[in-house]
Amino acid sequence: MTEVSRIGESEWDVWRSFYAMRRRLDHALEVQLQRDSGISRPDFEILIALFNAPDRRLRVRELISTIGWEKSRVSHQVTRMEKRGLVTKFECDSDRRGSWVELTSTGRKVILGAMREHSDTIKRYFFDALSPDELAVIGTASASIISAIEPTPCDASLALDNVEPAGSSTVAE
């Protein structure tokens, strides 16, 4: 038997457990957001970014660098959200190629509620389930995995928390 890998069964058990956890957690968060606030997780990320921005508005390119998506994904998502009245788009004076994306008052109400409820859900399913030690280990382990994947590429703007919101209720996915 050619040894397939040096990883043993107990390690694979950890992987499977980790894998299942991610799926269930994602699903639970998605369901809660949809049920309580009528939005998806992509919606939530866009809304949070806009909510934390000065004047509740961002250029599409700033949105891209803030949440780290591909530009066409942002474009599609913003288009869909505009149809539902969560955001509006309008032209940019200083750069006629560009456009602003701004939170509507509806969008503002939605994100305010969603932040509260979503934070509670994350608390319940994530923080409350873990001891302080486990939490600390997960923090360092996550950083290790990230740096294993990206051996220090450009390290560009991944600071999602650079703008201080009104109530410092930073969920900031």
Partner DNA sequence: TCAAATCGGATGACACGTCATCATTCGCGC
Partner DNA sequence: GCGCGAATGATGACGTGTCATCCGATTTGA
**Using CB distances below 5 to 8 A depending on partner kind, what does residue 70 bind out of a second copy, DNA, none?**
DNA
Q: Among residues 83, 48, 78, 82, which one has the least CA distance to residue 66?
A: 48
Q: Provide the Cα torsion 122, 88, 80, 39; round to 10°.
A: 20
Told to check if 141 binds a second copy by CB under 8 A, we report yes
Subset of residues 100 to 139 that bind DNA, contact rule: CB under 7 A: none
CB of 135 to DNA, least distance (A): 26
Distance CA 24, CA 133 (A): 22
User: Torsions phi, psi of 101, nearest 5?
Assistant: -120, 125
Binders of a second copy in range 17-56 (CB under 8 A): 17-22, 24-25, 28
Q: Would you say 46 or 171 has its CB closer to DNA?
A: 46
134's contact among DNA, a second copy, none, with CB below 5 to 8 A by partner kind, is a second copy
Distance (Å, rounded) from C-alpha 23 to C-alpha 31? 12
Give yes or no for residue 76 binding DNA (CB under 7 A).
yes
DSSP string, 87-125: EEEEE-SS-TT-EEEEE-HHHHHHHHHHHHHHHHHHIII
* Smallest separation (angstroms) from a second copy to the CB of 147: 8
Which range of residues in 14-22, 90-98, 133-141, 160-168 is near DNA by CB under 7 A? Answer: 90-98
Single residue of 27, 109, 123, 124 touching DNA by CB under 7 A: 27
Question: What letter does residue 127 receive in the DSSP assignment?
Answer: I
Q: Which own/partner pairs from 126-132 qualify as long-range (CB within 8 Å, at least 24 positions apart)? A: 126/25
Residues that bind a second copy (CB under 8 A): 1-2, 4-7, 9, 11-22, 24-25, 28, 115-116, 119-120, 122-130, 133-150, 158, 160-161, 167-173
Residues that bind DNA (CB under 7 A): 27, 40-43, 59-61, 64, 69-80, 89, 92, 95-99
